[in-house]
A and B are shown apart, each in its own frame.
Chain A
Amino acid sequence: MFKNYLKIAWRNLKVNRLFSAINVLGLSIGLAVTLILFIFIRHEQSFDTMYTNADNIQRVLLHTDGDNGQEIWATVPPSLGPTMMTDVANVEYAARILKNDFGGTASLRVLEQNFTEKDLFWVDAELLNIFDVTFIKGQAKGALDRPNTAVLSETSAKQYFGAIDPIGKTFTVDGKYELEVTGVYKDFPNNSTLDCNIMASGITTWFFKNPSWYNASFETYCLLKPNTDLASTELQLQEMLNKNMEKENQWYTFSLQPMKKVHLYSAGYDNAYANRIGDIKEVRNLSYLALLILLIASINYMNLTTARSQKRSKEVGISKTLGSSSGSLLFRFYMETGLVTLISLIIGVLLTFTALPIFNSVTGQELSTDSLLNVEFFISLFVLWLVVTLISGSYPALYLSQFKPSIVLKSSIVQSKGNVFIRKGLVVFQFAASVVLIVGVLMISKQMEFIRNQKLGFNAENVVAISINGLKGSEKKDALVSELKGLSNVSSVSLAQGFPGMEVSGRSLSRNEDDKEKLNIQTNVTDASVIDVLQLKLLAGRTLPSFKQEKDTLVEVVLNRKAIEYLGYSPEEAIGKKVHISVPNTIVGVVDDFNFASLHEPIGAYAFHNNTGEGKSFALVRYNAAGNSSTINQLETIFKAVAPNAAFNYSFLDNNLQNLYVRERRTAKVGIIFSVLAIFIACLGLFGLAAFVGEQRKKEIGIRKVLGDSIVGITQMLSKDFVKLVFIAMLIAFPIAYWLMDRWLSNFAFHIDMSYSVFVIAGISALVIALVTVSFQSVRSALSNPVKSLRSE
């Protein structure tokens, strides 16, 4: 019996090649997309689960009032770590990590050679007790206990020392610290949030040795005793804070974040050092998208199978008169579906293997199919097969098996209206989904375009930022500046702590020291020419003085409009006024607002000042547009001449700004690919349906032709119905798309207006796509010879 069913199913597939091919193609693409996303989601969920202590590791978060309400920071003051280890009973270990230069790059000098290292972290030795770090050379115990020690990852050891055994060797960081290598560890796995290339002992630095309850720049992880109550621990943290800080000075509170949540649930948090930041929202959105694509492919199957029901009805009728029950027919149709899905699944898996590298390169992931070769994967494949079979087989099986033989076996049966209605409904659904996707993709691209072209209030083009951490002493820095200024291509040079597009130093602004109300402000140590380099608009006053005495404690500041508006001054009034930003400052100039952070955020307060408490890390060089690459070469030559022991590391300001939107661009790319696939699958279905309709209306087409209708007329007639469906789909899709995109755009403080042209374009493209798909079949039907279709039986 079973074999017989299988045989019929197989023959059915073979006879209806076009329909089978469409079904299999659509389903296998849908399944491949689902599988790839499955791998992606599994990878995202697997983050940090491999650590033995994963369940007991917590990251400390800092909550504070920002300009836009509550902000959550992933970094906390340096006193917290050591204090909680001694004061909070359930904390076994706590470890601080600080990226070199508060998030910058490190200039290394190893074996007489210069390197730039992006992921050098200063850490507490306890970190090795909290996370499993496997040592290849040396041992974890005691590796970072002494100052001036460091451990390297396997890759960086190879990169910096080559074949030489690095143990006991020394290297220099930023020309300031000489570190001895005490161990080499296996690289962190690619699903670890923590990913240090070099871990250096934190107590080497001033900041670790002199911890404070300010300067919240330290990511802090702690290991709790098993089964510790988080809420009570958080209370203990508060008590600890109360002991160390006056209540009215407390501008933050703490909370704990389980390690396993760090990767996916930290997207909105500020200041995290990790490069690998996931977003549960992205994971969710992609899951919905995968589901949608799978659904569209399943709908194709349902549609094409029921469309052919008229042909199958005779078979059903005969089987039933021969004694087959509805149940066994049901089983038979399910089996047919199962066969199609099985073939599709096999092709889908093959597609997954070939397409994964493409997905990786587009999204910047490092997913591998290795994770697929396990029992769990095969079980999920089986479940997927079952689910898809049940979904896409349900309607055809239930519908077909209910045919009454007495009606079915009459020569001509009239198609039930309900069947047609459902089929049309499914097509409308597919196209509505496609239209939403098209609108989404267009809108996202438009917003990205807007971001690229947005007037930021300063000019980021043709400015290069050279890292000068490797330069020791102000003489060298000044020498570099004067050398760079000598280049004909260079119009101005400024030394600065940071530049727009990066977090610099967060402080708070008030008129007087005692004011309770304060405003968060980004502060940037710099010099007079910064206004020239960034081409900021000076509203009043002048720039910072070009010269400052070594011992001069007077701090001058240039504020932006937002800051003086908060203080309640007009630009002219502000000049000469005193303000308090950690220390008293005198306003010497006011510049217009500019977007120093991503366009997600509204413009906040910003200060350029000359308080020498913090160092300058970059030389910002504005050059003339011509001769881009040769300019960089010239800059490098000069840099090497001035600082032979430092690595030349530079970045373009405009590139840096674009990097703020990496996630959006990734979403856009993935969105485009998936949308194209979804639309393609929907078109496949439409193509099949049009073929079917052409076949079904063969007789009618014949009659119309004989009565004198033209080919154009018949094509129009056949396409008209589908066009109607596309219009209905648009009516449904537009409000949904509007709502979704409105929500997405509201993530940006600066965004485009919802533009109606996008909807028009999306509508027209959906229409054109549908028309092209359908008319191919319609023309074919219209061209067919009426004699054949009208031949009497």
Chain B
Amino acid sequence: MLLQLKNIFKWVQQGGQRVFLLKDINLEVEEGEFISIMGPSGSGKSTLLNVIGMLDTFDEGEYGFLSESVHTLKEKYRSNLYKEYIGFVFQSYHLLDDLTVEENLEMPLLYKKIKSSERKALVADMLDRFNIVGKKDLFPTQLSGGQQQLVGVARALIGKPKLILADEPTGNLNSQQSEEIMELFKKLNEEDGVTIIQVTHSEKNAEYGSRIINLLDGRKI
């Protein structure tokens, strides 16, 4: 098993009352799964994704990731854990505007303290695989949205993560670009065995996954 959430609660205090963002979430994810989280706006999809990605904390419950219990870990170990095993893809790509495509790809490797020669090799590999060698010296603003997201996915993959978390990865893309990205995810999932959890509004995109989780008001239905 890759990860397990047990009775996860997350709330904020508002006017003396608890407003639940997540309510009693139980979830088990096996390696190699492709899960889509769906639900209306404000149902807690992104919050759940952030909790899984260890970017956000929760108030109650247990979270196990690869036999580590995340809720007892200190910040530093948590960040080591997600640095090692998790890659993120965002709706608005979140590439760094001041860096070239190549440098953007290299960044996660810097934080993993990988040697320069090895970094070069890994980046070249990724550029090759995603067919963006010709774009390596361009800045993100010089690329189309689809291309930017391609770089975003490549960046998420470069650290060889076990799990990719994607928050509406196609939200800013047109349908053709969307399809390309989803095909890419599917290929990664099937050929490389990368576990993927995505948040999406689109039924069509959700179909690519093997399992769909529906949320409403922070609750799994």
Contact = CB atoms under 8 A, between A and B. Distances in A.
Given A414-B141, A703-B96, A787-B56, A708 B91 contact: no
Contacts of A602: none
Contacts of B88: 706-707
A790 B88 CA distance: 11
Given A787-B50, A790-B90, A792-B90, A707 B167 contact: no
A785 B56 contact: yes
Contacts of A92: none
Contacts of B92: 792-793
Nearest to B91: A792
A706 B108 CA distance: 9
Contact of A713 (B55, B90, B97, B111): B111
B107 A704 contact: yes
A631 B18 CA distance: 81
B168 interface: yes
A786 B83 CA distance: 14
Interface in A740-793: 785-787, 790-793
Which of A703, A709, A710, A713 has the most chain B CB atoms closer than 10 A to its own CB?
Answer: A703
B144 to A, nearest CB: 15
Interface string A668-708: 00000000000000000000000000000001101111111
A713 B108 CA distance: 13
B202 to A, nearest CB: 15
B114 to A, nearest CB: 11
Given A700-B96, A706-B88, A792-B91, A787 B55 contact: yes
B94 A790 contact: yes
B94 A703 contact: yes
A751 to B, nearest CB: 50
A89 B15 CA distance: 95
B112 interface: yes
B150 to A, nearest CB: 17
Contacts of A706: 53, 55, 88, 94
Contacts of A703: 94-96
Interface residues of A, number: 20
Contacts of A710: 76, 79, 111
Given A700-B96, A787-B50, A708 B82 contact: yes
B171 interface: yes
A699 B56 contact: no
Contacts of A791: 46
A709 B50 CA distance: 17
A702 B94 contact: yes
Contact of B167 (A713, A786, A792): A792
B77 to A, nearest CB: 12
Interface in B28-81: 46, 50, 53, 55-56, 76, 79
Which of A700, A713, A793 has the most chain B CB atoms closer than 10 A to its own CB?
Answer: A700
Nearest to A709: B111
Given A792-B91, A792-B167, A792-B171, A707 B107 contact: yes
A697 to B, nearest CB: 10
A786 B57 CA distance: 12
A255 to B, nearest CB: 68
Contacts of A414: 97, 141
Contact of B55 (A700, A709, A786, A792): A786
Interface string A9-38: 000000000000000000000000000000
Nearest to A703: B94
Contacts of B108: 707-708
A708 B97 CA distance: 18
A590 B42 CA distance: 100
A484 B108 CA distance: 86
B111 A708 contact: yes
B171 to A, nearest CB: 7
B75 to A, nearest CB: 9
Which of A709, A786, A792 has the most chain B CB atoms closer than 10 A to its own CB?
Answer: A792
Contacts of A702: 94
B113 to A, nearest CB: 10
A414 B97 CA distance: 9
A785 B83 CA distance: 16
Contacts of B107: 704, 707
Contacts of A792: 90-92, 167-168, 171
A133 to B, nearest CB: 75
A698 to B, nearest CB: 11
B87 to A, nearest CB: 9
Interface string B107-127: 110011000000000000000
Contacts of A790: 90, 94
Contacts of B171: 792
A787 B56 CA distance: 7
Contact of A707 (B97, B111, B141): B111
A785 B78 CA distance: 14
A248 B119 CA distance: 92
B20 to A, nearest CB: 17
A699 B94 contact: yes
A98 B50 CA distance: 90
Which of A704, A707, A786, A792 has the most chain B CB atoms closer than 10 A to its own CB?
Answer: A707
A565 B95 CA distance: 81
A790 B55 CA distance: 11
Contacts of A713: 111
Nearest to A699: B94
A793 B91 CA distance: 10
Contacts of A705: 79
A702 B168 CA distance: 18
A793 B167 CA distance: 12
Contacts of B141: 414
A785 B141 CA distance: 26
B44 to A, nearest CB: 13
B197 to A, nearest CB: 15
Contacts of B94: 699, 702-703, 706, 790
Nearest to B80: A708
A793 B168 CA distance: 12
A708 B96 CA distance: 14
A628 to B, nearest CB: 61
A708 B112 contact: yes
A403 to B, nearest CB: 19
A708 B88 CA distance: 11
A424 to B, nearest CB: 15
Contacts of A785: 55-56
A247 to B, nearest CB: 82
Contacts of B167: 792
Interface in B138-174: 141, 155, 159, 167-168, 171
Which of A414, A706, A792, A793 has the most chain B CB atoms closer than 10 A to its own CB?
Answer: A706
Contacts of B90: 790, 792
Given A699-B94, A708-B108, A787-B56, 8 more contacts: A703-B96, A706-B88, A708-B159, A786-B55, A787-B55, A791-B46, A792-B91, A792-B92
| Pairs of residues from A and B, 7 with the lowest C-beta to C-beta distance, nearest first | A708-B83, A708-B111, A792-B91, A707-B108, A703-B94, A787-B55, A787-B56
23 contacts: A414-B97, A414-B141, A700-B96, A706-B53, A706-B88, A706-B94, A707-B83, A707-B107, A707-B108, A707-B155, A708-B79, A708-B83, A708-B111, A710-B79, A713-B111, A785-B56, A787-B55, A787-B56, A790-B90, A791-B46, A792-B167, A792-B168, A792-B171
Interface of A: 414, 699-700, 702-710, 713, 785-787, 790-793
